């Protein structure tokens, strides 16, 4: 039997089950005084209209708890309809405890807590303490669910309230390319602006060409892309400094990032708090290479040169990339020097594998700016304990967040024990990372501090950038090198 059938089974005449007006009732009702009025009504309190004083066929208005007989109740409820748009015009009959909505103009049945509490009080008073079967059962179920609640609803406000009330100190933040787009770095998938969309601009043979480990015969496409994304050209965003603020307030356990732009490092997020899941430009290594050899008879063979293990600085590689040169290893002469970025098909960095279990210790999880399509990173949100709330700040719903109730009308409840279904513990903010982080900072009480930090650090970054050598200077530096 579904929920609609279970509701209807209590009535000879099937009531309306989707009345919207009951949600306008005061959720704090009935108060102790209003409960006393209900008890008096159940004991045959007289009609309060004029001098009627009738004690039969009376109704109780659940907006103001006025008692009126069937002769005058319509007029009383009409006043509410006229004075309040979509008026809270619901009343209970003392004769049979049926509920009527004068806006719907129908008998109704509902799981609204105010109505259920009123029915239970009336029934107990009329029938020597016996609870209303349906109302008491529904209230008991709601109470059980409430005790298992993680968030009150699926809003960012509820997530912030949870973080404050539970003094969260082990927040894990998972970030993707959307975190850096406001810095001017394009993501991969956005129509019109993403790197994949603008593939023709980069003259790359295929979308995965710059991030595959199998094409060392022609590595130029990767370095064309690398020049566009190279660190030092971009200032961290407000969202990066939001993560910095979490760290400053000892609320951050770890920041896992898919990004290779090193903006977290520029924002001075401590290395110990950072896991660059796909590597970064901060260092580089000889990865070996492929060499074509043409024999005297014209036969072409390919020789594979293994990595020699030599390490290089970010600046060493940058000089060559900006000179439109493919960095060659001076130690072995044949290897290509590549930033320590994880390509598709390559093993994740050791630090990622070592720290992935941080999700099991998290007391809250924030996912920002990721499509959650690249594994194993995309699996990280699911590793958090089922009782840990998760917040998605993104332009669209991704991953398993698509199961979240965005209406926010009911509690986000763990149903596991009663229904076997997985818990619903997610909040969602649809918008830019910067807007979501600014709102969350406000809700957590450090918006002004974040804005000041961002303004100061941005001004410092721009001032330092003016003093840095430009591309022409880098080219001159390269031309003076003998390697």
Q: Higher pLDDT residue, 71 or 225?
A: 71
**Residue 168, pLDDT score:** 92
Which comes out higher in pLDDT, residue 225 or 446? 446
* Helix extents (H) in 340-395: 350-355
What is the percent of the chain with per-residue pLDDT over 70, rounded to a whole number?
A: 72
Q: Express each pLDDT in 97-142 by its tens digit.
A: 888 888 888 888 888 888 888 888 888 888 888 888 888 888 887 6
Strand ranges of the sheet holding 106-108, from the earlier edge strand across to the other edge: 67-69, 58-61, 90-93, 99-101, 106-108
Which of these ranges, 45-59, 82-96, 256-270, 328-342, has the smallest mean pLDDT?
Answer: 82-96
Taking 60 as the threshold, does the pLDDT of residue 194 lie above it? no
Give 9-45 pLDDT, tens digit per residue: 444 567 888 776 776 676 666 888 888 888 888 887 7
Tallying the residues shown for the chain, one arrives at 483
Residue positions annotated with a catalytic role: 278
> CA-based Rg of the chain, rounded to a whole angstrom?
32
For the chain, give the mean pLDDT: 77
Q: Per DSSP, what are the bridge partners of residue 237? A: none
The 10s digit of each residue's pLDDT in 282-299 is 778 787 777 767 677 777
pTM: 0.57
pLDDT of residue 452: 95
Q: Which of the four pLDDT bands, split at 50, 70 and 90, describes residue 470?
A: low
Query: What pLDDT sits at residue 199?
Result: 46
The answer on pLDDT for 213 being more than 70 is no
Least confident span in 56-70, 243-257, 379-393, 434-448? 56-70
**Cβ proximity of 54 and 69 under 8 Å:** yes
Report the pLDDT averaged over residues 1-5. Answer: 48
- Please tell me the predicted confidence (pLDDT) of residue 48: 81
pLDDT at 185 over 90: no
Q: Give 381-435 pLDDT, tens digit per residue.
A: 999 988 899 999 999 999 888 665 554 433 343 433 434 444 568 999 999 999 9
- What pLDDT sits at residue 247? 94
* Residue 312: count of CB within 10 angstroms of its CB: 20
CA torsion sign for 311, 316, 322, 325 is negative
Pick 347 or 208 by higher pLDDT. 347
Question: Largest alpha-carbon pair distance within the chain?
Answer: 120
Q: What's the rounded Cα separation, in Å, for the pair 99 and 119?
A: 9
What is the reported pLDDT for 468? 56
Q: What is the pLDDT of residue 421?
A: 45
Smallest CA-to-CA distance from 29 within 104, 97, 88, 80 is with: 88
Cα–Cα distance for residue pair 377/140, rounded to 1 Å? 41
Residues 19, 105: Cα–Cα separation, whole Å: 10
């Amino acid at each position: 039997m579904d929920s609609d059938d279970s509701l209807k089974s209590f009535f000879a005449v099937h009531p309306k089950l989707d009345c919207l007006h009951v949600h306008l009732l005061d959720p704090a009702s009935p108060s102790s005084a209003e409960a006393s009025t209900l008890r008096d009504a159940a004991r045959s309190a007289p009609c309060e209209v004029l001098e009627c004083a009738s004690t039969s066929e009376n109704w109780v208005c659940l907006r103001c708890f006025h008692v009126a007989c069937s002769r005058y109740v319509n007029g009383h409820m009409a006043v509410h309809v006229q004075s309040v748009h979509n008026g809270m015009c619901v009343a209970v009959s003392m004769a049979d405890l049926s509920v009527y909505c004068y806006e719907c103009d129908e008998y109704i049945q509902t799981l609204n807590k105010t109505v259920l509490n009123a029915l239970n009080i009336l029934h107990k008073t009329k029938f020597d303490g016996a609870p209303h079967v349906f109302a008491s059962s529904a209230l008991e179920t709601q109470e059980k669910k409430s005790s298992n609640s993680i968030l009150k609803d699926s809003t960012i406000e509820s997530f912030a309230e949870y973080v404050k009330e539970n003094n969260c100190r082990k927040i894990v933040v998972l970030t993707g390319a959307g975190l850096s787009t406001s810095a001017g770095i394009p993501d991969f998938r956005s129509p019109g602006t993403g790197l994949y969309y603008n593939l023709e601009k980069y003259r790359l043979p295929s979308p995965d060409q710059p991030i595959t480990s199998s094409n060392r015969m022609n590595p130029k496409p990767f370095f064309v892309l690398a020049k566009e994304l190279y660190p030092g050209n971009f200032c961290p965003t407000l969202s990066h400094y939001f993560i910095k603020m979490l760290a400053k307030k000892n609320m951050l356990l770890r920041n896992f990032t898919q990004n290779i732009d090193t903006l977290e490092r520029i924002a001075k997020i401590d290395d110990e708090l950072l896991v660059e899941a796909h590597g970064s430009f901060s260092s580089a290594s000889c990865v070996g290479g492929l060499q074509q050899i043409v024999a005297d008879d014209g036969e072409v063979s390919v020789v594979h040169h293994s990595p020699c293990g030599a390490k290089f600085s970010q600046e060493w590689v940058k000089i060559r990339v900006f000179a439109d040169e493919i960095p060659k290893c001076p130690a072995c002469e044949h290897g290509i020097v590549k930033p320590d970025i994880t390509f598709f098909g390559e093993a994740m960095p050791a630090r990622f594998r070592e720290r992935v279990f941080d999700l099991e210790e998290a007391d809250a999880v924030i996912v920002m700016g990721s499509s959650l399509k690249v594994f194993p990173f995309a699996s990280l949100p699911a590793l958090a304990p089922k009782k840990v709330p998760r917040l998605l700040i993104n332009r669209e719903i991704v991953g398993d967040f698509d199961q979240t109730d965005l209406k926010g009308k009911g509690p986000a409840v763990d149903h596991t024990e009663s229904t076997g279904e997985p818990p619903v513990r997610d909040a969602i903010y649809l918008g830019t990372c910067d807007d979501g982080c600014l709102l969350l900072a406000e809700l957590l009480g450090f918006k002004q501090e974040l804005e000041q930090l961002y303004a100061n650090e941005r001004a410092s970054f721009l001032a330092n950038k003016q003093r840095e050598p430009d591309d022409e200077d880098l080219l001159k530096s390269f031309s003076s090198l003998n390697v």
